[in-house]
Amino acid sequence: MQELEKLLQIMADLRNPDGGCPWDIKQSFKSVAAYTVEEAYEVADAIERGDMDDLKSELGDLLFQVVFHAQMASEKNQFDFSDVVQEINDKMVRRHPHVFAGDGASDEDQLNRDWEQHKKKERTLKNQIDENQSVSYLDGIVSTMPALRWSEKLQKRASHHGFDWDDIQSVFDKVNEEIGELKAEIDIENNHERIVDEMGDILFASVNLARHVGVNPEQALRDSNRKFISRFEIVEQLLRDDEKLMEGCSVDVLLEYWQKAKQLIHRRDAEARRKV
C-alpha cells in the first residue's frame, strides 16, 4: 500500500499547476481515454506473448491510467481513487452473494443468470427508472468496445433472456443464409451500402457461431492474426533463400510457399510437443 500511496502522490505532483508537468496538466478525460485503451491492449499483448516481465510493466501502465482519471476527477470534486476502489469492492460483493452472503448457487448457468439479474437491478437504479417502467435488457452494454466483443456481449445478454437458437444447426443455417444474401448483393452494380450491411450480418452470425461452440471470437481472431504473421514471415524467409521477390511471383507460386510454411510450422510444433 505504501507504493500505491507513492503513485497517487506522483500523479498529484504531475498535475500540480505549480511546478507540475505541462503535458500532464493540460490533459483531460477525453484526451487520456485513447491512452487508456492503448494500455489495455498492451496488457493483452503481453499476456498473449507469455511475457510476465512485460505484463508486470504493462499492468503498471494501466494502473497509472486509472490513477490519472481519478486524479482529474478529484480536482473537480467528483470522486477520487478511494471512491473508485470502494465502488468496485461494493460491486463485487453485491454481485457475488454466493460467496459473501451465503446464498448458494447450484451451477455455473445459475451463476450467470443471477449475475445478469444483479446487473439489471444496478442499471435500473443507476437510471433511476420506476420499477413499473420497462428497461431494455441490452442497456449498459458499452458500444465503444471492439466490435467483435460488443457483438458477443449483445448476443450473450439476449441469450440469457431466451432470445437464442436452440441448436447449433440453426446457427450454421443462419451463417449460410447470410453468405447467400451477400453473394446476391455482390451481383448488383453500385450496391456497396447493401454489401457492407450483409458483410456485417455475416460477421454477426459468425460471432454467434463462435459463442455457441464456446469460442471467444476476439481471441480466436487475434490468434489467427498471429498465425498468419508467423506463416507469412516464413514465406518471406523462404523466398529470400530462393532469391525471389514476392511481387514477382504468381499467386500459385506463393500458395506453394504458403503450404511449405505450414508444413515447417507443423513439424516444429510436433517436435516441441515431443520434447515436453
**pLDDT tens, residue by residue, 182-192:** 999 999 999 99
Task: Dig out the grid coordinates for 227 from the structure.
Answer: 498465425
- pLDDT at 272 > cutoff 90: no
Q: What pLDDT is recorded for position 132?
A: 56
Average pLDDT of the segment spanning 32-47:
93
- 11 and 83: one domain? yes
Residue at 133 is within a domain: no
On whether the CB atoms of residues 153 and 115 are closer than 8 A, the answer is no
- 169 and 249: one domain? no
- 37 and 83: one domain? yes
Q: What pLDDT is recorded for position 95?
A: 83
- 271 and 202: one domain? no
Average pLDDT of the segment spanning 9-16:
97
Q: What pLDDT is recorded for position 104?
A: 64
Residue at 60 is within a domain: yes
- pLDDT at 245 > cutoff 60: yes
Question: Distance between alpha carbon 220 and the CA centroid of its chain, in Å?
Answer: 11
Distance CA(138)–CA(136), nearest Å, equals 5
Average pLDDT of the segment spanning 125-140:
67
- 115 and 60: one domain? no
Distance CA(244)–CA(253), nearest Å, equals 11
Structural domain count, the chain:
4
Residue 221, φ and ψ in degrees, nearest 5: -70, -40
Three-state SS at 274: helix
Model-level pTM? 0.67
Residue at 153 is within a domain: yes
- Of 50-59, 89-98, 158-167, 172-181, the range with the lowest mean pLDDT is 89-98
- 171 and 226: one domain? no
In b/e form, how buried is each residue of 148-169, taking b as 16+ CB within 10 angstroms?
A: bbbbbbbbebebbeeeeeeeee
Q: What pLDDT is recorded for position 250?
A: 97
Domain containing 152 — which CATH number? Answer: 1.10.287.1080
- pLDDT at 116 > cutoff 90: no
Q: What pLDDT is recorded for position 206?
A: 98
Per-residue DSSP letter, 28: -
- pLDDT at 274 > cutoff 90: no
- 89 and 164: one domain? no
- 111 and 183: one domain? no
Range of the domain at 269: 219-275
Residue at 248 is within a domain: yes
pLDDT band at 134 (very low <50, low <70, confident <90, very high): low
Distance CA(141)–CA(151), nearest Å, equals 10
Q: Which of 192, 215, 238 is the last residue of a domain?
A: 215
Task: Dig out the grid coordinates for 208 from the structure.
Answer: 454467434
Distance CA(272)–CA(197), nearest Å, equals 44
Residue at 227 is within a domain: yes
- 74 and 7: one domain? yes
Which of residues 14 and 124 earns the better pLDDT score?
14
On whether the CB atoms of residues 62 and 39 are closer than 8 A, the answer is yes
- pLDDT at 175 > cutoff 60: yes
- pLDDT at 198 > cutoff 90: yes
On whether the CB atoms of residues 125 and 178 are closer than 8 A, the answer is no
Residue at 243 is within a domain: yes
Residue at 116 is within a domain: yes
- 6 and 88: one domain? yes
- 156 and 203: one domain? yes
- 69 and 24: one domain? yes
**pLDDT tens, residue by residue, 51-67:** 999 999 999 999 999 99
Residue at 51 is within a domain: yes
Residues with Cβ < 8 Å from 142, sequence gap 6 or more?
Answer: 150
